[in-house]
Amino acid sequence: MKRRQETHVGALESFAIGAIRIVQVGRREIGILRSDDATVHALLNVCPHRGAPVCKGKIGGTMLPSAPGELVYGNDGKVLKCPWHGYEFDIETGASLFGIMRGRLHKFETEIRDGEVYVSA
């Protein structure tokens, strides 16, 4: 993550926890995701697989690798699933889950100051 121009994207309270809001920062569409009271992620709205608007996907959990016939749900609230081909990514690291691809989500640094959210993009 490179530090670039800092842009104000809104008040922290305007971002609902667990939902992504897409904002325009310069020429980029960036999805802002507030994952808890004090954590905000900024994700480029381009899926590294086929360029789909990944930030229009759902935030949730996933089924962890498990034995045949066994379901283990995990990573609740930490997974972004692309609305096209369903590729899943870890919102903390941007990495794809469990080796489905080498590419990862492009993330930007965020900062919360005085209740306002800033993105360096």
Partner 1 sequence: MSTETLSTERPISPATERLSIVDCDVHPIVKGGMNSLFPYMPIAWQKRLKQKAAEIVTVAPLTLRFEHPNGSALRSDAATPSGGPGGSDPDYIKTDLLDKHDIDIAILNCLQPGAMAAALAGPDESVVMCSAFNDFFLDNWKLTGSGPLRLAISVPVQDPVAAAAEIRRLAKNPAVAAVSLPLINIRMGNRYYYPIYEEAHRCGLPILLHVTGTDSIYYGAPHAAVGLPESYIERYVSLSQIAESNISSLIFSGTFEKFPGLKFLFAEYGFAWILPLLWRMDRTWRSLRHETPWVKKSPIEYVHENVRLSTQPLDEPERPEDLHTLIKLFGYDLLMFSSDYPHWDNDMPEQSLRTLPLEARRKIFGDNARKVLRL
- Nearest approach, Cβ of 41 to partner 1 (angstroms)? 19
Contact 43, 106 (CB under 8 A): yes
CA distance 50 to 83: 11
- Examine residue 64 and tell whether it contacts partner 1 (CB under 8 A): no
Closest CA to 34 of 106, 110, 96: 110
Asked if residue 57 binds partner 1 (CB under 8 A), the reply is yes
Handedness of CA 52, 91, 67, 71 (dihedral sign): negative
Using rule CB under 8 A, residue 19 touches partner 1: no
Q: Is 52 a binder of partner 1 (CB under 8 A)? A: yes
Give the dihedral of Cα atoms 61, 3, 106, 117; nearest 10 deg. Answer: 40
**Stretch near partner 1 under the rule CB under 8 A, chosen from 10-18, 23-31, 77-85, 113-121:** 77-85
Applying CB under 8 A, which of residues 21, 28, 56, 107 lies at the interface with partner 1? 56
Name the site residues for partner 1 (rule: CB under 8 A).
48-53, 56-58, 81, 83-86, 99-103
